[in-house]
Amino acid sequence: MPPRSRLRMTRQRQVILEELRKTRSHPSADELYEMVRQRLPHISLGTVYRNLDLLARDGLIRKLELGGTQKRFDGDTSGHYHKRCLKCGRIEDAQVETIAAIEDAVKEVTDYEIIEHRLEFIGLCPQCAGKRRKLDRHQ
């Protein structure tokens, strides 16, 4: 269940949130802007950026800053892992259970108060891996 928001839900924020939660592609702000413009043609890119930051700060969405790539956004705020393609940059949810034992192990060897952890799997998506195999066969 998403956290209870303290943020006033404007029409623009609501549309941004709805569009983000409709997709599983983890869009960038620019990609989300194009999606939102279908419903709010006069919205500015700056408004989308500001609202994404506010929604992330309030815990309604997640801002993903994975492996030095462009920031992406996730409408699913539950604890879960991601996989990222090195070639095309595609990001998807990794359909595995989160591992609480990782946090327990870190708590045992540090004085940090662990709140959560994030894990990213890095590789090649099926399309990029297929293209690579095809090139390897022809060399």
Across the chain, which distance is largest between two alpha carbons, in Å? 58
* Cβ–Cβ < 8 Å for 20, 27: yes
The whole-number pLDDT of residue 89 equals 85
Q: Which range is least confidently modeled, 12-21, 72-81, 129-138? A: 129-138
Structural domains of the chain, with CATH:
1-76 (1.10.10.10), 79-139 (3.30.1490.190)
Estimate the share of the chain in helix, then strand, then coil, as percent rounded to the nearest 5.
Answer: 40, 15, 45
pLDDT of 30-60, one tens digit each?
Answer: 999 999 999 999 999 999 999 999 999 999 9
Question: Strand, helix or coil at 13?
Answer: helix
Scored b (16 or more CB within 10 A) or e, 71-108 reads: ebbbbeeeebbbbbbeeebbbeeeeeebeeeeeeeeee
Q: What is the pTM of this model?
A: 0.78
Residue with structure tokens 């095809």? 134
